[in-house]
Amino acid sequence: MMGEGTVVRGRGLTIAIGIELCAIMIWGGGLVALGAIAAPLVFGIVPSPTSADAMMAVFLRFDRFAMTCAAIALVAESVVGRKGGPLARIDLVRLGVILLAGALAIVQGAFLSPRIADLHRGGAIRGLGDLGLALETAHRWSERCGKTQLVLLLAAVFLVVAKARTLHNVAARQ
């Protein structure tokens, strides 16, 4: 918690918090839009292998986008950490949540999605044969990774908003 003498650097801090929230919400919204809406529809309507080709292109592009959002959120969080007064335990939790979500975005974008794409290009069909089992395993890990990111991002939104409210209350008292 910040003391009475703490000076909160208003506008720059507000902008950093806004940028951080936007990056987190766009990233999380993309996860929901692709994983819960687009992928089930495309795989349910478009015949295989065209559906997998299309969704692999989308997921590979989104992974780069998610990693960019993670970097933006982390840079904004570093500004919030430097300008938001003394670090409290909750600040470290917020940073840890965003770091972990970012690490998962990197795992998904750098390892899981490329592995799924390679298996698909190699003719793998989920659940059929050794390649299909490898594809199923990679796909399950990718789903877990995306769902975990989503939970972490939801927590991050609440933690960032809580920080913003705390800073607003400190500024109002000054």
| Domain segments of the chain as ranges | 10-166
Distance (Å, whole) CA 49 – CA 62: 20
| Residue 152 CB-half CA count within 13 A | 23
What does the block give as tokens for 51? 């559906």
Q: With contact defined as beta carbons under 8 Å apart, do 24 and 108 qualify? A: no
Write down the pLDDT at residue 2. Answer: 41
What is the residue-level pLDDT of the chain in tens, covering all 174 positions?
444 334 445 677 889 999 999 999 999 999 999 999 999 999 899 988 888 889 999 999 999 999 999 999 999 999 988 887 777 898 899 999 999 999 999 999 999 999 999 999 988 888 789 999 999 999 999 999 999 999 999 999 999 998 888 877 766 666
Q: What is the pTM of this model?
A: 0.85
Distance (Å, whole) CA 20 – CA 137: 33
Distance (Å, whole) CA 121 – CA 167: 51
